[in-house]
Structure 1
Amino acid sequence: MSKNEAEFLEAVAKTEVEAEAVAEALVDRQNGLRRKRLFIALGATVLLAGSAFWAYERFYASHFVSTDNAYTAAETAQVTPAVGGIVREVLVSDTQAVRKDEVLVQLDDTDALLALAQAEAELGRAVRRVRGYVANDDSLAAQIAARASEEKRAAAQVAAAQADFERADVDLRRRAALAGSGSVSGDELTKARNAFESARANLTAAQAQAAQTRATHQAAVGSREANAVLIADTTEQDNPEVALARARRDQAWFNLDRTVVRAPIDGVVARRTVQVGQQVQAGAALLSVVPVAHVHVDANFKEVQLDRVRVGQAVELKSDLYGSAVTYHGLVAGLAGGTGSSFATIPAQNATGNWIKVVQRVPVRVWLDPKELADRPLQVGLSMTATIDTRGTGR
């Protein structure tokens, strides 16, 4: 190979290397531009997503507060007897649905029946006793009239005895004056003195009789006044003795009626402890009735979530029982008067020892839509997730 050919081939090879370098440089530049565009697009996407999230959080999501620390509850009615007795029959069992006023437990009513019969007899006796008071008033009025007549007669007898006494006194003094001159015999003077003593004794007896008749008359008046107090301003029906006996009769009737224990509300029977033959006392817990148609939710929100929560705001709830496909709707009924820890059996003693701040939770009561509850019933104690829309002003 000649020298010129060798130089030509070397030049061609050098040119090819330079061309490859240029091509590689072009590719690197294009890749750099592509990466720059990708980074710019990624940055723009991140910025746009962040802006969208900020806008969503600022203008929409910030108006909602949510918690999964929520559970269903109800105002459970505890069934207790108003009277004691032996359980004769139990007509319900746990999980059984009952209606208001449905018979749950029947107590033995023997004692109540006897007490009612006794109270009825006492009422009849009180009515007859009051009728006796009325009849006795007429009798005492007649006695007073008779005693008044006797008092007048006694007064007349006193007046007659007083006249006889004065006449005997005059006769005695006249004869005593004449006895010294011998005009009156001693025997006649003695008779006059005896007549005087007899008249004085008769006067004393008449006066005593008059005093006795006055006392008898006053006693009759007092007896009538005492009897009148028992019937004054009353009739037979509203007389206090009859009213008291009637009240005792009514109490006995109610006690008899209370031997039948009825359901105070609609609901489902729970925690039944009563058994046939058991001796129960008044006020003893027999069973509970849970009003599943009136279940509410107690949602425990953090204290930092409650600044805009108001009574009447709308709430959406989901239950673990039915899953996220079922949504319940309700309203905020009220906020508890204190945090859960403040009502604990052993409250926290934050004033002693080392202290660590813990975010507290406040129970919020939520009423549920009755129609939704009727379609999908909830039991007490189920877990719920509650979300409050704080955009509403509530009430």
Structure 2
Amino acid sequence: MSHSDSQAIQTISTADNAPGNAPGKRKKLFTIFAGVVAVVAIGYGTYWYFIGSRYVTTDNAYTAVEISQVTPAVNGIVSEVNVVDTQYVHQGDVLVVIDSRDATLALAQAEADLGRAERRVQSYFANDTGFVAQVQAREAEQKRSAAQLLSAQADLQRAELDLRRREALEKSGSVSGEELTNARTTVLTMQANLKAAEAGKIQADANRNATVGAQKASTVLTANTTVDTNPEVVLARAKLEQAKLDLERTVLRAPVEGVIARRQVQVGQRVQAGTALLSVVPTRSMHVDANFKEGQLSQVHLGQPVTMKADIYGSAIEYHGTVVGVAGGTGSAFAVIPAQNATGNWIKVVQRLPVRISIDRKELAEKPLSVGLSMDVSIDTRGKSGSGSENTAMNSSAAKSPTL
């Protein structure tokens, strides 16, 4: 640089630092600063209006699902285990088989009991028919015995009258001693016949009453029923159906489509009814439980659209869903040892409320998720409710809930 150039630069610098130019420079700087603040304010206002006030987000969200636990309904020894952990199964696939021999024997016994009950009830109806004939026979016998009793009474009266006549004629000698003896013998015979007739009448009455009583007892067993509707047959048939059901339950099938998890059963193990054997995770029916701060939920309501990103796939993959439910209480409210805020020193802690969010089934099928994965969730509080019939079906009653 030449000496003349250095002098020119020094002259310009001296002119800029002159006292008369200082206020103009400050004014220029304040103008620039005010412009920057205005741009920032306008930018933040625009962001808040279009984005900040519209979306609520959280990274405190995790995938969840209604896990199906497989438990046996009958006791027995496990003969087959057809699945392992992480295996994918379809609804209806055979998972575990319990030895069915005991159930088969119980079924055969139930079938025999049903046959025996049907035959026993058929005999009741046959007895009813027989009792009608027996009662008629007993009533005829009762009538005959009554007639015989009347006849015996009449015969005795005639014999006694004949005896009194002969005794009256005995003094005059008109009747021989032999005739009188025969008359007396006839009276004794008629008295014996009367006693026999009375005993026969008593026996006939007893026989008729016994037969009628037996008929009533038999009628009670068959009253207002048929062989098929008789209580004994109905009970035996119910036990047969239960035996068939127990036999079917020796084969445990997948209740839903999903992935096997927590398998705790082995071949040869004796299991009791209700014992947890394994679980089926329906990965295609996944949802997200997002824990939002209480201050974020003032504009959140059911049916709003949601976008989600899973850490396992990164920000390149985006899932869509809707808000389908809000928990009835915060996590601390349902804790094993809930907070006792009414005692001791108190520090306010912002609470989080779980929000249930559905996931589009098509997107979930293309990019499967597992239970417990971390998610980033963003709810569009100005979006239209009801983004699909699938989400509505997941919580039809929740659609009637009021805005939070």
| 1:186 to partner: Cα distance | 6.8
Post-superposition offset of 1:222: 2.6
Q: 1:203 is aligned with what amino acid?
A: L
2:125 counterpart (134, 140, 143) = 134
1:205 to 186, 196, 202: 196
Matches within 5 A, 1:308-347: 308-347=299-338
Aligned to 2:88: 97
Name the CA distance, whole Å, in 2 between partners of 1:106 and 1:281: 13
Moved over 6 A (4+): 20-23
Q: How does 1:1-395 map to 2 (within 5 A)?
A: 24-28=14-18, 33-34=24-25, 36-178=27-169, 191-392=182-383, 394=385, 395=399
AA in 2 matched with 1:325: A
- List runs of 5+ in structure 2 lacking aligned partners: 1-6, 386-398, 400-404
| Worse-superposed segment, 341-350 or 178-187 | 178-187
After TM superposition, the structure 1 stretch with the greater mean CA deviation from structure 2, 134-143 or 284-293, is 134-143
**Partners of 1:210 and 1:271 in 2: CA distance:** 84
1:383 CA drift (Å)? 0.7
- Name structure 1 gaps, 5 residues minimum: 1-16
* Counterpart Cα distance in 2 of 1:179 and 1:382: 133
CA shift in 2, pair 1:392/1:126, >3 Å:
same
Cα deviation, residue 198, structure 1: 3.4
What SS does structure 2 have at the residue aligned with 1:70? strand
Task: For residue 342 of structure 1, give the secondary structure of its aligned residue in structure 2.
Answer: coil
Q: Supply the distance in 1 between the matched residues of 2:261 and 2:49 (Cα, whole angstroms).
A: 47
Residue of structure 2 equivalent to 1:7: none
Query: Relative to structure 1, is the Cα distance of residues 180 and 304 closer, same or farther in structure 2, using a 3 angstrom cutoff?
Result: farther
Q: In 2, Cα distance between the equivalents of 1:176 and 1:134?
A: 63
Q: Give the superposition deviation at 1:58.
A: 3.6
SS of 2:347's partner is coil
Deviation at 1:192, TM superposition (A): 4.0
Q: Distance in 1 between matches of 2:323 and 2:364?
A: 16
Distance 1:70 1:361 in 2: 11
Query: Which amino acid in 2 is paired with 1:144?
Result: V
| Letter paired with 1:390 | T
Which region of structure 1 is more displaced relative to structure 2, 182-191 or 298-307? 182-191
Q: Quick one: distance in 2 between partners of 1:204 and 1:357?
A: 109
Query: In terms of mean alpha carbon deviation, does 29-38 or 259-268 score higher?
Result: 29-38
Q: CA offsets, 1:47-95, max 9 Å, x none?
A: 2212220232145311211111111100000000010100011000000
Change (3 A) 1:278 1:218: same
Higher-Rg member (1/2)? 1
Residue aligned with 1:387, SS: strand
Three-state SS of the structure 2 residue aligned to 1:209 is helix
Give the counterpart letter for 1:357 in structure 2. K
SS in 2 for 1:161: helix
Cα deviation code 1:276-310 (max 9, x no counterpart): 11010001000000000001001111111111111
* Deviation of the 1:171 alpha carbon: 2.9
How far apart are the structure 2 equivalents of 1:391 and 1:252? 58
Q: How far off its partner does 1:130 sit? A: 2.2
How far off its partner does 1:121 sit?
A: 0.9
- CA 192–315 in structure 1, closer or farther in 2 if over 3 Å, else same: same
How much does 1:152 deviate? 1.8
1:237 to partner: Cα distance: 2.5
Alignment match, 1:12: none
For the aligned residue pairs, the C-alpha RMSD in angstroms reads 2.3
Contact 1:310 1:393 in 2 (8 A): no
Report how many aligned residue pairs link the two structures. Answer: 377
Distance 1:391 1:384 in 2: 21
* Most deviating of 138-147 and 266-275: 138-147
TM superposition score normalised by structure 2: 0.86
Contact 2:305-2:384 at 8 Å conserved across structures: no
Displacement after TM superposition at 1:356 (Å):
1.5
Letter in 1 for 2:191: R
Report the 3-state secondary structure (helix = DSSP H, G, I; strand = E; otherwise coil) of the residue aligned with 1:365.
strand
Q: Tell me by how many angstroms 1:167 deviates.
A: 1.4
- Using a 3 Å threshold, how does the CA distance of structure 1 residues 34 and 106 change in structure 2: closer, same or farther? same
Could you tell me how far apart the structure 1 residues matched to 2:354 and 2:378 are?
14
Provide closer, same or farther for how the CA distance between residues 267 and 182 of structure 1 changes in structure 2, counting only shifts above 3 A: same
Quote how far apart the aligned CAs of 1:32 are: 6.1
Letter in 2 for 1:382: L
Using the size of structure 1 for normalisation, the TM-score is 0.88
Q: Distance in 2 between matches of 1:65 and 1:221?
A: 87
How far the C-alpha of 1:236 sits from its partner, in A, is: 2.6
Q: Secondary structure at the match of 1:130?
A: helix
- Code of the residue aligned with 1:368 in structure 2: it is I
